[in-house]
Amino acid sequence: MELISFGLYLVITGAVVGFISGLLGIGGGIIMIPVLLWLLDMTAMEQSISTHVVFGTSLAVGAVTALSGAITHNHYRKVDLKIVGSLAAGSIIGAQVGGFLAHRTEWELLRGGLGVILVLVSYLMFRPVRSDVPDMKSIPGKGRKIIAFVSAGFVVGTVSGLFGLGGAVISTPVLVLLFAYPLHVAVGISATLMFFTATSGAVSYIIQGYGVPGLPPYSIGYVNAFIWLFMVSTSIIMARVGASVTHRIDAQKLRRIFAVFLLIVGLRMFAGFI
């Protein structure tokens, strides 16, 4: 594939990723990872290397994109920073653990496992939720709740680091289904949490990939600076656009959009594995 065409694909994908990230608070990794895997699979790079490079770079892009979207969500006062802090305390550590495990896991299992996770989360998001969800201010954030949020954050971070996701694809359903947060609120919290989770995960991939032979040019560990630069050039702008749109969409419609995206991409990933 020519360098110009490759760069154009990255710019377009970055725009889509940014919009989806801001709209659904999920980092856009569910779009970015399959596209990058497809692009790199057309090169001579070994799939064992390309899979880890895609996951690591996806986290690095997600960190910057999440920060852009979080700023807009905060403008709409949909971010509870106390809850974000509790979740981040666990997710930062979990992302390091996930990156460590990913480096020691076969690439086929990583791709197939990601597909299974996305399909499962899609199913959970299709299920109806309680209509009597409480306002986020009424949910306590101390004592046992803090422990629950930190534990949930650790799980989110571990899955994020293992599969290259920003973490919000897991944290958004967790906040909605386990902690009964309204989806619009969960999206804002997840977008902010994703910055910490994705940053920690990207650092882990840099450390684990340092000195690995066969990496593509401009790679810092498993994070490729060339891909990162092209994608964030558009994802940052579109993340703010998506975050603005999400507060004008009916919550139930937003939930269904989220679930459909996960189902389609998850089935595609799992089909490639088998």
Place of tokens 């790679």: 219
Asked if 54 and 40 count as a contact pair (C-beta separation under 8 A), the reply is yes
- Picking from 47, 57, 66, the residue whose alpha carbon sits closest to that of residue 172 is 66
Helix (H, G, I), strand (E, B) or coil at 220: strand
pLDDT band at 142 (very low <50, low <70, confident <90, very high): low
Which candidate, 263, 247, 259, 236, places its Cα nearest to that of 63? 236
Given its phi and psi angles, is residue 143 left (phi above 0), alpha (psi -120 to 50 degrees) or beta? left
**Triad 108, 12, 63: Cα angle to 5°:** 65
CA distance 251 to 63: 25
Tokens at residue 190, please? 């997840």
Rg (CA), the chain: 17
Backbone dihedral region for residue 164 (phi beyond 0: left; psi -120 to 50: alpha; all else: beta): left
Average pLDDT over residues 3-28: 78
Predicted confidence band of residue 131 (pLDDT cuts 50, 70, 90)? very low
CA dihedral for 237, 126, 162, 49, sign (positive or negative): negative
For range 74-88, the mean pLDDT = 77
Assess whether pLDDT exceeds 80 at residue 265: no
Cα 107 from Cα 166, distance rounded (Å) = 19
- Of the two residues 231 and 128, the one the predictor is more confident about is 231
Contacts 24+ apart (CB under 8 A), 172-178: 172/24, 172/25, 172/26, 172/258, 173/121, 173/124, 173/125, 176/125, 176/129, 176/255, 177/124, 177/125, 177/127, 177/129, 178/152
Identify the weakest region by mean pLDDT among 86-95, 169-178, 192-201, 212-221: 169-178
The full set of domain ranges for the chain reads 3-273
Looking at residue 89, what is its pLDDT? 93
Residue 150: its pLDDT value, please? 92
Highest mean pLDDT among 27-31, 34-38, 62-66, 100-104: 100-104
pTM score of the predicted model: 0.79
Distance CA 105, CA 242 (A): 34
- Asked if residue 137 has pLDDT above 60, the reply is no
- Count the alpha carbons within 13 Å of 135 in the hemisphere toward its beta carbon: 3
Reference 126, options 264, 258, 270, 271; nearest CA is 258
User: E strands along the chain, which residues?
Assistant: 219-220, 223-224
